[in-house]
Structure 1
Amino acid sequence: MSGRGNCYDNSLVETLFKTIKSELIWPVTWQSRKQVENAIARYIGGFYKPFKRH
Structure 2
Amino acid sequence: MSSIGDCFDNALAESFFSSMQVELLDRRIWRIRQELANGIFEWIEAFYNPVRRHSGLDYLSPVDYEQAHTPAADAA
TM-score class, shorter-chain normalisation, is 0.7 to 0.9
Q: Whose RCO is larger (CA < 8 A, sep 6+)?
A: 1
Identical residues among aligned pairs (%): 29
Match of 2:9 in 1: 9
* Structure with greater Cα Rg: 2
Q: Name the TM-score, length of structure 1 as normaliser.
A: 0.74
Structure 1 unaligned blocks of 5 or more: 50-54
Structure 1 residues 1-54: aligned runs within 5 Å: 3-5=2-4, 6-46=6-46, 47-49=48-50
Please identify runs of 4+ aligned residues in structure 1 that moved more than 4 A.
none
Count the aligned residue pairs.
48
Q: Name the TM-score, length of structure 2 as normaliser.
A: 0.55
- What whole-Å deviation, never above 9, does each CA across 1:2-54 have from its counterpart, x for those lacking one? x13212121111011011011101120111111111111011112325xxxxx
Structure 2 unaligned blocks of 5 or more: 51-76
